[in-house]
Amino acid sequence: MKTAAPTFARLPKTYSSLVALHMPRPIHDEVAYDNAVELVQALAGHKLNHDQDDYLAIMAKLVEDYESMNLSEPKPAKSIEALKFLLAENNLTATDLGEIIGVNRSVAYRILKGARNLTADHIRKLCARFAVSADIFLN
C-alpha cells in the first residue's frame, strides 16, 4: 500500500531533518524517482527557508539527472494540437479564439481544422493571452 504524498506543511524545516526523511542519492529506479518527485513537488512553489531551498535544489537536480538518462524527450506538440489543448484547459471555444486573435468565428474554425495557418500577429496575441512561448505555435 502506498503512503500519502508528503505535503509542504508536514515537511521538516531543517536540512538535516529533510535528509533524515529522504537521503539525497542518485536515482536508479522508478520507485526512488517517484519518491524524489513527490518531495520536489511538495516543496516547489512555496516560500522556503534556506535549508529547504538547498534541499530542493539537490533533489531537483537528482530528478533532472534521472530523467535525462532514463526518460525519452517528449515529441513537441503540433501547433494546432497545442492551441486546442490551451483552449480546452481554459474552457474556451473557437468563438473565444476568434476574439482573442481578432478574427471572426469562421476563420478561427478554419485555423483549428488546419485549413488556415496562424499569423505572426495571431501567435503574439496567443502568447500574451496564455503566457506561453511562441515556440509551441511554430512547429
CB 6 within 8 A of CB 39: yes
pTM of the shown model: 0.53
Q: Which three cell numbers stand for residue 115?
A: 485549413
Segments of the chain assigned to CATH 1.10.260.40:
79-137
Separation of alpha carbons 70 and 2, rounded Å: 23
For the domain made up of 79-137, give the CATH fold. Answer: 434 Repressor (Amino-terminal Domain) (1.10.260)
**pLDDT, mean over the chain:** 90
**Tens of pLDDT, residues 59-98:** 999 999 999 899 876 665 688 999 999 999 999 999 999 9
**Tens of pLDDT, residues 31-51:** 999 999 999 999 988 899 999
Separation of alpha carbons 39 and 36, rounded Å: 5
CB 127 within 8 A of CB 134: yes
pLDDT of residue 1: 39
Q: Taking residues 119-131, report their average pLDDT.
A: 93
